[in-house]
Structure 1
Amino acid sequence: MNTTPPHSPRSTIDSPTSTGSSTNNGSAGQPNTQISAKDKYEQLLQVSDSIMSVEMPNQMKEYISLGGQPHDVIRFLSDSYKGYAQMCNLICHWLKLTGVSDTDVSDSLANHLKDIIITKFDPKKADTIFSSSPPQWLDEMITDQKWRSLIYQLSEDHKNCLMLNFAVQRISDAGYQNEIASLSTASTYFSVFNKVFLDSLCNLIKLDEISFRQSLDEFKKVCCQHQHTYLYAQATLQNLIRSNPNAYNLKRISQELENEAMSKNKIVQRISYMMSDISAYPVIASCITALLTSNTTTTGDIIKLYNEYCKVPPPPVDYLRYPNLLEILINDLFNPQKNIQQQHRGKWIYLIAYSTTVTADGSKQNLDDTIKAIEKVHQICQSNPVGSELQSIIPLLMEYINMPVLSMGILHWIRFNLTDSVNISTYNTLNSPFYFELLREICLKHSLHRSVILTTLVEHFEFDMGLDSLQTLEIRKTILDNIVFIFACGFVIPVLDVIKEWASKIDPSLTRYFINQVLDIVEPPYSTEFMSKMTSIIEMINPISSNNENKELVSNFIDYCKQYNNSNNK
């Protein structure tokens, strides 16, 4: 077999067409270039486990074409062989023999490889793959969720890497927009952002309240990543709202985005006003801007707003429905320590009633009844009754709880009293049972208020009551009973998140008490998320090893979770 390449140094020198100085230049230049290239491929052949490289067949051909010998190729590949991949396979086989499941072995290996890649990743080297067509292995990685998660993590750490940004676009094109919604890379390229935004929006409007809250944070993150993404998101939402005036879920999403962006830059408020055409009503724009900027009310601004909404025709009611504005007005009216001048009190009441009852077409059918109801409940909250006096008016408050705006007002009143350092001991001993009764009734009738109720109970639980440890323990058990009630109403995951955060901080007996209360009212089948969060809470305090009267209940739950996981891993 003739292994001499057609353009070897010898054939060049002996060529009859090579004469004079041109021959000397060729013999002096060409061999040096060929030797350099040959040395390069020789080094590649001697890299550890080079025989495992997907480029090795081409590298062997190039080396031989440059004058390399086949027996040298064999020697280089055999001497450089370490067998790291085979060692990994052997270790995996040993792990399986010890009883470790295939899934656990595969996950351990994949996680270790991820750690190595994250540590050694070089974005400049990664970008060189675009000197030719994208590699086939990239498409294979995109089809596997584990490797997609690696791409997401790398793209967050290396935002300017061309290869990773391209990979994220390919992932978006493949239909995994829901996975990349939280990535900053998703907002870098409009084509990616647009798909993620539309897909996330279509998903959000279909979710129930709990799922909505869980998905909303990721949606806000991707939309508020840059100024242009926020502006595009709000412009799209406003156009949809104009086409669908009764799309209150879209209005809520728009307001949630606005609140998120305002936490970063107050100029966002002005942008929202421009989109809502509030500039056509300069007095309203000025008053609402002042109220939201200062986060407090002034009598002058309230009077101006009241006068504007008494005109015929009045301005659009939507301008009064900013959540932060309503919260300020309700807090003023139902906080016992807020003293509104009697001659102007009706203006606060009118604005709240108007914003919650008047329809988009201007119908005021329930306005007068709502004003009367707010006046009665306001008088009760301002008088702040205690003990038997409070007990006597509970039936009246129960009647008004049916109205969402009044249930929210009563919530503000209860929240103030349960965290009032001046009267906390009196309210705990005399009023707390009645407050809890009202909270449970609100929880049953208004699902959207459950997050506020949970926040109120959490604040009361964490409040320093200045009591001895036994009294505090009993009060906190009562609070946990009411938190379990919220759990039983369907507010499951938010409650578990709170207890998980508390588990390492509070008295373990309280966590065990919660676990027992929950396991006593639930039964299979359980959701995967519930099992995961509940199991992690149980593991923090290990109630089985303690003096727990419900050990069997806990053991049965853990056994069920293990059986479920084992059946899914097969």
Structure 2
Amino acid sequence: AIFEPDILDIVSTLVSESVENIGQIFGSLCHSYTGEPSKIQLLSDLYDEFASSDTQPKADSICKDALMNILLDKYDTVKIDEVVKYNIQALNSVMPLIQSPYWRKAVYALSEKYPESQFLNLLIRKIADANHINEIKHLKSASTNIDVYSKVLLDQFDNLIAEDEAGVSQSIPDLIKTAVQHPHSYLFAQALIKRLSQEQNGYPLRKLAKELEKGVSINNTELVENLRNLIAAPPMQIATSILRIPPTPGDIVALHKQYSLAPLPSPIYLRDPQLLCKNKNHDWLLNNAFVPSEKTLNLKQDIKDKYLYLAAYAASAEEREDGTIDNSRVNTTFETLKKLQTTLGKKGVIGLEFNAIVKDLLVYIDTPIASMATIFWIKYILRETSYYEKHFKTNEVPLPHYILEEIAFRHQYQRFHVFNAYKAELESSNRFTPEVMQTALRKQLMERMAYLVQIGFVMQVMSYIEKNLSKLDEKLVTIFVKKVASACGPPYSEEFYISMLKLIEYAKIQLDSQIDTRPMIVQFFADCPSTIDNKYRELINNLLVIFGN
């Protein structure tokens, strides 16, 4: 029909009378020429001759969409796989298409629909070879092909290495999506993490292993537990005791016995974060020794000492290259934990006697495992006791906050836990009356969070404040912005700078009302990163109208 003498009139009429349905029209016309793109291109050219670019899209996009729909609807995976099976050269005519982002999307859509297709898996491999890793990392088919999956996984690990703690937290959901598609992909990822964690300074990678476990355990707890024990490969006597988390007092007695006899076992088996660190549904070894509860009320001291010894062993013992254990620091750490437990257990220490233990606390928290125990204890007294009601003075920083701040300064990897303690207090501060107490406490907590930014724990704090702006009074955000702006100087990262801009925009009225703040904010605008997007430059110009007056 396209070569009939009156075709121009027909197309002109279609275009002029059917603007709203032009996509459907081209979809219908394209069905007539399946497999003949040259004729569709001719039809596209005719369309562009008659269509107004002001009111209608270009034919190129309409025809591509129509072809895409035909492809998705009529793709015959059995037939095409059969062709490729006997004629691998059939791939050659398709290869140019994977250079186009548009047609790669078609391959991805078909791959999700037909994950076992040999032809599509070959294309996915070629796409991976062309370094379009970010596009394929969540495809089911990417995890079925070991070559593709290893490229995707290693690319994500490379990116994680370059990230700070905030970046790692943001990247973990992507890693989970990639790794938990199939049992074999989960096994591959966990085995790789296990191997890398054995390298020098590699142990923090175990955090990734635990995050992957969370991603799988909702639907397959048995797989997680079996694989955890298989990869860790603990001796049978130890495996029996750590299989249950939290372990029972009987498990603790058995573990203590194993870790007191020669040859000493590896500390790696005690370093399961769920054994040492809290999860919504789990207790800590340290919690049982330091945090009062109904469970620990009648716990005998010799059992608590065994908890402390195992925690000290996990934190201080080192496995040498020949497999022997250096436990020379275990007893020192154990004694520190015992002294800390005695200090925190003194009568009246939660109240007026808190001042009396600060000097000792500042010594004990030099030991990382002791500082972690102190964080748990402080969270307990702030949340579960009447410390604030009895001892909080609106014009003074609470002593527990000072201790948390000192821990954050000394121990980089515990800043996350300190931040969580601050968040918990901020989010529950409305439990206090009168309102003046709420306001004063929130002010103190915003200042503590600003200090975390100052010492390098930046984007997790910034992201949290930004996401919760609607719940925060402008005066509180103003306090935070002033503290951060005065403590942090250029050059700024784009991510930090944009987050600060959003906070300044939210609190602009309060910030502008304080004359001493204006020069600082104007200077912050002047120190804008050169690579920042134009829309944020426009925001800066709008804000300068306010602060520049």
CA distance in 1, matches of 2:106, 2:508: 37
Residue 459 of structure 1: how far off its partner (Å): 0.2
1:446/1:148 Cα in 2 relative to 1: closer, same or farther (>3 Å)? farther
Instruction: Determine if contact 2:111/2:120 at 8 Å carries over to the other structure.
Output: no
Residue 250 of structure 1: how far off its partner (Å): 4.1
CA distance in 1, matches of 2:505, 2:111: 32
CA distance in 2, matches of 1:519, 1:382: 41
CA distance in 2, matches of 1:118, 1:308: 68
Which letter does structure 1 place at the counterpart of 2:416?
S
CA distance in 1, matches of 2:449, 2:416: 11
Q: How does 1:468-507 map to 2 (within 5 A)?
A: 468-507=434-473
Which residue among 121, 130, 133 is the counterpart of 1:174? 130
Question: Is 1:443 aligned with 2:392?
Answer: no
Show CA shifts across 1:164-218 (max 9, x none).
Answer: 8766544321123255435555324333211111222344345444433333332
Residue 492 of structure 1: how far off its partner (Å): 0.9
TM-score by length of 1: 0.72
For 2:419, what is the secondary structure of its paired residue?
Answer: helix
Q: How does 1:514-529 map to 2 (within 5 A)?
A: 514-529=480-495
Instruction: Determine if contact 2:408/2:415 at 8 Å carries over to the other structure.
Output: yes
Show CA shifts across 1:86-106 (max 9, x none).
Answer: 6159999xxxxxxxxxxxxxx
Residue 477 of structure 1: how far off its partner (Å): 0.7
Which letter does structure 2 place at the counterpart of 1:172?
A
1:466/1:155 Cα in 2 relative to 1: closer, same or farther (>3 Å)? farther
For 1:87, what is the secondary structure of its paired residue?
Answer: coil
Which letter does structure 2 place at the counterpart of 1:304?
A
| Counterpart position of 1:330 | 286
Residue 310 of structure 1: how far off its partner (Å): 1.6
| Counterpart position of 1:305 | 255
Which residue among 383, 398, 419 is the counterpart of 1:433? 398
Which residue among 291, 302, 305 is the counterpart of 1:343? 302
Moved more, 529-538 or 123-132: 123-132
Aligned residues: 487
Which letter does structure 1 place at the counterpart of 2:238?
I
Question: Is 1:214 aligned with 2:170?
Answer: yes
1:321/1:480 Cα in 2 relative to 1: closer, same or farther (>3 Å)? same
Which residue among 510, 533, 542 is the counterpart of 1:565? 533
CA distance in 2, matches of 1:83, 1:391: 84
1:158/1:121 Cα in 2 relative to 1: closer, same or farther (>3 Å)? farther
Q: How does 1:189-208 map to 2 (within 5 A)?
A: 189-205=145-161, 207-208=163-164
Instruction: Determine if contact 1:504/1:540 at 8 Å carries over to the other structure.
Output: no
Q: What stretches of structure 1 of length at least 5 have no aligned partner?
A: 1-34, 62-72, 93-109
Which residue among 208, 215, 238 is the counterpart of 1:284? 238
Residue 84 of structure 1: how far off its partner (Å): 7.6
Instruction: Determine if contact 2:491/2:529 at 8 Å carries over to the other structure.
Output: no
Instruction: Determine if contact 2:474/2:506 at 8 Å carries over to the other structure.
Output: no
For 1:439, what is the secondary structure of its paired residue?
Answer: helix
Moved more, 487-496 or 267-276: 267-276
CA distance in 2, matches of 1:84, 1:511: 56
TM-score by length of 2: 0.75
Which residue among 209, 214, 218 is the counterpart of 1:254? 209
Instruction: Determine if contact 2:504/2:511 at 8 Å carries over to the other structure.
Output: no
Q: How does 1:411-430 map to 2 (within 5 A)?
A: 411-420=375-384, 422-426=386-390, 428-429=392-393
Instruction: Determine if contact 1:205/1:250 at 8 Å carries over to the other structure.
Output: no
CA distance in 1, matches of 2:52, 2:3: 30
Residue 60 of structure 1: how far off its partner (Å): 9.5
Larger-Rg structure: 1
Q: How does 1:45-444 map to 2 (within 5 A)?
A: 58-59=38-39, 81-83=47-49, 87=53, 123-125=72-74, 133=91, 135=94, 138-142=97-101, 168-178=124-134, 180-205=136-161, 207-240=163-196, 244=199, 247-267=202-222, 268-278=224-234, 281-290=235-244, 292=245, 295=246, 297-327=247-277, 328-337=284-293, 338-339=296-297, 340-360=299-319, 361-383=324-346, 385-420=349-384, 422-426=386-390, 428-429=392-393, 433-444=398-409
1:127/1:407 Cα in 2 relative to 1: closer, same or farther (>3 Å)? farther
Show CA shifts across 1:269-293 (max 9, x none).
Answer: 1221022222xx3332122112x1x
1:491/1:160 Cα in 2 relative to 1: closer, same or farther (>3 Å)? same
| Counterpart position of 1:461 | 426
Which residue among 465, 473, 478 is the counterpart of 1:512? 478
CA distance in 1, matches of 2:433, 2:273: 36
Instruction: Determine if contact 1:444/1:489 at 8 Å carries over to the other structure.
Output: yes
CA distance in 1, matches of 2:99, 2:479: 49
Instruction: Determine if contact 2:316/2:329 at 8 Å carries over to the other structure.
Output: yes
Residue 418 of structure 1: how far off its partner (Å): 1.9
Instruction: Determine if contact 1:152/1:180 at 8 Å carries over to the other structure.
Output: no
For 1:81, what is the secondary structure of its paired residue?
Answer: helix
Residue 524 of structure 1: how far off its partner (Å): 2.5
For 1:483, what is the secondary structure of its paired residue?
Answer: helix
1:526/1:438 Cα in 2 relative to 1: closer, same or farther (>3 Å)? same
Instruction: Determine if contact 2:466/2:503 at 8 Å carries over to the other structure.
Output: yes
For 1:219, what is the secondary structure of its paired residue?
Answer: helix
CA distance in 1, matches of 2:49, 2:355: 80
Percent of matched pairs sharing the same residue: 25
Residue 376 of structure 1: how far off its partner (Å): 0.7
